Amino acid sequence: MPVNIEFAERLKVLPPYLFVEIDKAKRAALAQGRDVINLGIGDPDYPTPRPIIDAMKKALDDGSNHHYALDAGLLGLRQEISRWFQGRFNVGLDPDTEIYPLIGSKEGLAHLPLGVINPRDKVALTDPAYPAYRPAIIFAGGKIVAVPLKASQGFLPDLAKIAKIKDLKMVVVNYPNNPTAVTASRGFYQGLVDLARNKGFMIISDMAYAQVYFDDEKPISILEIDGAKDVTIEFHSFSKTYYMTGWRIGWACGNSTLIAALAKIKTNFDSGIFQAIQLAAIAALKSPPSLIEEMRALYQERRDLLINGLRNIGWKITSPKAAYYVWAKIPRGFSTSMETAKAFLDQADIVVTPGNGFGSAGEGYVRMALTVPKERLQEAVERLRKVL
């Protein structure tokens, strides 16, 4: 007799993962032989730089790298992260207690709540937000309190509203922001840190797009704020900066107790990062500044091309300050984000991400990624000219 197997309740309350659903629609269009321009998922189209690949190849030939990795990663990697962080943000980090390498920053963001959130603890989550935050909080038993991000406030959460949340345990922020592509000011971070220290809540800062910024306006780390280490853990990624999305490596840094909680979860769940990848990551951090400058110049050229092109066909869009996304109000004549995304795919073979997939406050927007060649962006503009 067949056994009745059901999903756990924690899975039943989750919405479909946004990017999987978008990929299904894209694959269906491709299966029909259509020439699809994918502006949906932000996966860099360039290969990982050659010096990083060469370091990986060399490490693969060394049999000592083929065994279980140490949970905390190579000391050399943690020391190199510390040097990089000091140079980029002028913040010192203890490689032994304030840095922990991860199998991609997404993995660390998923595991941390299990170490510090108890059932029914309140977690303030911005809306819209990167979709992976929500299940991490739900799986830990936390209660999500939505904090809307509004254009009128520069897509920064209202600290006064956060201050009114009783018994708040944690706040999650992400700047440069996905999906809105804005950055946070020093004043905002100062206010958030002061509030967290006064009210006794933790801050998770996701800074995956730390190096993807435009017009020479460097985003700051929240850890640059005095007292931030008392309450904050920040997550960083090699994926966007070094075209290493598939390599799965990143790190967490900041408050030593939060780092220790994350470490204890990870020692029970995984066996560390493949050591050859860690050595390649060291090579990435040691790479010349020109490598990252070329990456930024590439995305800025694409940003300007797409923004100017869409403005020329009558779609008024704010130019992003950072990250490689364009967050745009849906054009006149469309009612919802999903309607817009469906029309773009059906009528122009263009994939965009509907804003409501990032949260209810994202309704009325779509997100477009700059991770396709400029020729394809120009083609996208011409196709949208006919739709709009």
pLDDT in tens, 50-90: 999 999 999 999 999 999 998 899 999 999 999 999 999 99
Neighbouring-strand partners of residue 122: 143, 168
Burial class (CB in 10 A: 0-12, 13-18, 19+), 20: exposed
Element (H, E) at 206: strand 202-206
Q: What average pLDDT does the segment 216-225 reach?
A: 97
Q: What average pLDDT does the segment 217-226 reach?
A: 98
| CA–CA dist 84, 281 (Å, integer) | 12
pLDDT in the model for residue 41: 85
Domains delineated in the chain: 9-47+290-387 (3.90.1150.10), 50-285 (3.40.640.10)
Percent of the chain with pLDDT over 90: 92
In the structure, what pLDDT confidence band is assigned to residue 26 with cuts at 50, 70 and 90?
A: confident
Q: Tell me: pLDDT of 388 over 80.
A: yes
Structure token pair of residue 25? 């629609």
Q: Tell me: pLDDT of 11 over 90.
A: no
Of 294, 153, 288, the C-alpha closest to 212 is: 294
Sequence letter at residue 155:
F
Contact 180, 353 (CB under 8 A): no
Neighbouring-strand partners of residue 327: 367
| CA–CA dist 383, 385 (Å, integer) | 5
Q: Tell me: pLDDT of 203 over 90.
A: yes
Contact 89, 221 (CB under 8 A): yes
Contact 236, 207 (CB under 8 A): yes
Burial class (CB in 10 A: 0-12, 13-18, 19+), 329: middle
pLDDT in the model for residue 293: 97
Q: Tell me: pLDDT of 305 over 80.
A: yes
Neighbours of 338 (CB within 10 A): 16
Burial class (CB in 10 A: 0-12, 13-18, 19+), 270: middle
Neighbours of 295 (CB within 10 A): 20
Residue 127 φ then ψ, to 5°: -140, 110
Percent of the chain with pLDDT over 70: 99
pTM: 0.96
Of 106, 113, 94, the C-alpha closest to 265 is: 113
Any idea of the CA torsion for 281, 286, 291, 292, to the nearest 10 degrees?
80
Strands 350-351 and 143-148: unpaired
Q: Tell me: pLDDT of 348 over 80.
A: yes
CA angle, corner 60, sides to 56 and 65, nearest 5?
105
Q: What average pLDDT does the segment 283-297 reach?
A: 97
Phi-psi region of 309 (alpha: psi -120 to 50; beta: other; left: phi over 0): alpha
